[in-house]
Structure 1
Amino acid sequence: MTVPVVICADDYGLAPGVNLAIRELIALGRITATSVMSLCPHWEAEAAALRAVAGHADVGLHFTLTDQRPLGPMPHLAPDGRLPSLGRLMAMAYRQALDAAEIRAELTRQIDAFTAVWGRPPAYIDGHQHVHQLPTVRDAVVDAAAAWPGTYVRRCGEPIAAVLARRVAVPKTLLIGGLGFGLSRRLDARSIPANDRFAGVYDFATAEPFAALMPRFLAGFRHGKAGRNLMMVHPGLPDEALRRVDSLVEPRRAEYEYLKGADFAALLERQGIRPVRFQDLPSIS
């Protein structure tokens, strides 16, 4: 029995090396979705290259509210023209200090920047550093997704038993999953499509190689209840553009080299995992 899984590469648009790695992995059939940072300068310039392989993958919006420059004025969140760190954003969200109209306006701008280049709305919406789960932000995301029938949203929760059994970044994984309860309730209430299972969270500074983590991530899908499985990855080829904007450099290279290699292909075969697009996942949950 094969188990279908959406394997989604985040951060298209962040840097040319990230873009190239993602396109190569889509062409190889190793990943089946990619999330676009449409506020980054390397999106518009490299959208055409992505289009050449996009028939094999979902292309969605990676809503970004941290560390980058927003596409328009955000006097409350980015008074100096740069979005805050994740910690500051989370603190503001849980203090109910985010300006809802400002968040919605920036989401609209990022969607418009995506659509203007891609020619159609994103196939799905998720969030850079999972910000789409935060209070105030999640309401804007749900409303945007509801406007386009068929658009799905990424859930980031996993069963606690599965997280404990895997023993990979347990506190971080539980925190990210716990942040998503409010989003999940809203998605279900409005019948917005979403994945049921999720994997891919680990400590990027870990000494454990990515090749040792992937079998444990995928095994959770095999042993869990049948449903819609999604795993995130962050492949990339280091370049100067990436080093200027992000600290996650060498882990991206490690992911890319493993995902393109024969060992990953053999793992998929051995575990009966079939990378698919969201439309090919079962609808049961």
Structure 2
Amino acid sequence: MFADLGKYGLVGVLAALLHAFILLALSGLGFYLPLANLLALLSASIWSFVAHSRFSFKKQTGGRLFPRPWLALQLIVNVVLSILLPIALGAFARSLAATVLLVLTPTVVNYLVWNSAARHTARLHSLPKPDFVLPVRFHADDLGLAKFVNEAIFELFDRHQLDSASLMVSAPALEHALAGWRRRPQMELALHLVLTEGPPTAPVHLIPDLVDGKGNLCLGFGFLLMASVMPLSRSRRLFQQIGIEIQAQISKYKQLTGRTSFSLDGHQHVHLLPIVWRQLLRLPPSMRPTWIRTINEPWPPGLAYKFWLSALGHGGVVKSLVLKYLNSVITPVLATEQISTNGSFSGVLFTGRMAGAPLAACLKKLRQVSVSSASTPSLLLVHPAFIDGDRPSNLEVIDPSYHLSRRFYASPWRQREFESLACLIRK
């Protein structure tokens, strides 16, 4: 870990001096201190990214730049530090000692980040390229949400551009979805577990803590995440009601499809939350899924900065990091419980915008990633839909109880995802 520490120190000192110079200069000009610190940090970060790649860790990287996602990760960590540290220091923030602290804290953290980036780059370029193209399964979520979503999914399946979809068992266009699926028996289907919006499947009086005043599911991902880390004594009631709703959705799915064994994933990826998957593992064998989706998402190289900036702005990077951590918790549990899962995955970093260059880059990366022989093929997730100018807005067509999905599916990106996937060369 401490190899090339001298070179790192030299680059770090220069980055720290650059940070301090810009920070003091902007502060002297009257800039708001957190903003001045942020601008100084961004400048020092870009310098560090290039210098550490090509000088400090040249032995590991061969002079290549680190993959760009490492810059994004480093920026996220440092942006948080640059905002919180001045606030935490309060009245002492403009002292000399505080300036030293503002500079040195990110420097120490950055060493950990860049050292990890160097090792990742070395591994990336030492991996043997596969002699064959690894299989990738193309999958769409939200089947049943609306007819224009169903139609796009079925059209892509008919063009052999989609392999599977996830069914929402209480969604408004459920019957339309089932009719289309029954005409396509080769289409793989999974249960799309919904806990954050729309009407529940279980009777409302059995799950009062999961619904709002209108009787719709209303607990967001963040709330369920917080509930997952609470002591069971405080979350037991919620935990039990989640179990009731899960069993109701599984029972309905099996009844509708006639399947005795089934696969499962989650709307907004709620199935990765401990409070949810712990209930899944408590189910009797006849109700337990045989396959659960995991989010082991590699970051694709070679994309222009504008795509990464878009992923940052729309929350894809942060979402990916959170789900990566949750994924690292559930994956060994699934192996122990002998529940199958996919080898690798793409679709969170650029969620909602899997079109054009990001779609092609993610597919290329998935084809290069080695997967365990015990895993199913890697999975590429999309959310296609038709945008038709001759009918009402998609925002108006979707049931208002699906408040999280309404704006998502009103976006023109749904049509762009459909078009990109329709013309993509898979082989």
Tell me the TM-score normalised to structure 2 length. Answer: 0.56
In the TM superposition, structure 1's runs of 4+ consecutive aligned residues that sit over 6 Å from their partners are none
Tell me the TM-score normalised to structure 1 length. Answer: 0.81
Distance change in 2, residues 1:41/1:33 (3 Å):
same
Structure 1 letter corresponding to 2:414: R
Higher fraction of strand:
1
Distance change in 2, residues 1:150/1:92 (3 Å):
closer
1:29-63 Cα shifts (integer Å, max 9, x gaps): 111110011121211343021111131x2101010
Q: How many residues align?
A: 259
User: Which of 253, 256, 261 is equivalent to 2:418?
Assistant: 256
Q: Which residue of 2 aligns with 1:217?
A: 362
Structure 2 letter corresponding to 1:163: W
Aligned-residue CA RMSD (Å): 2.5
1:173-225 Cα shifts (integer Å, max 9, x gaps): 1212212222212201111111121111134576xx72111111112122222
1:247 and 2:407 are equivalent in the alignment = yes
Structure 2 letter corresponding to 1:9: A
- State which structure, 1 or 2, has the greater radius of gyration over its C-alpha atoms: 2
- Gap regions ≥5 residues in structure 1: 270-285
1:157-188 Cα shifts (integer Å, max 9, x gaps): 23xxx327475543321212212222212201
Larger RCO, structure (CA 8 Å, separation 6 or more):
1
Shift of 1:121: 4.1
Higher fraction of helix:
2
Q: Which residue of 2 aligns with 1:29?
A: 160
User: Which of 201, 219, 231 is equivalent to 1:71?
Assistant: 201
Q: Which residue of 2 aligns with 1:278?
A: none
Q: Which residue of 2 aligns with 1:52?
A: 183
Structure 2 letter corresponding to 1:89: L
Q: Which residue of 2 aligns with 1:115?
A: 254
Contact 2:153-2:384 within 8 A present in 1 as well: yes
Distance change in 2, residues 1:52/1:122 (3 Å):
farther
**Aligned runs of 1:1-285 on 2, under 5 Å?**
1-55=132-186, 57-72=187-202, 73=204, 74-80=207-213, 81-84=215-218, 85-95=220-230, 97=235, 99-121=238-260, 123-144=262-283, 147=286, 151-158=290-297, 162-163=298-299, 165=301, 169-203=316-350, 210-227=355-372, 228-238=377-387, 239=394, 240-242=396-398, 244=400, 245=402, 246-249=406-409, 250-261=412-423, 264-265=424-425, 268-269=426-427
Identical columns (%): 28
Shift of 1:116: 2.0
Contact 1:58-1:123 within 8 A present in 2 as well: no
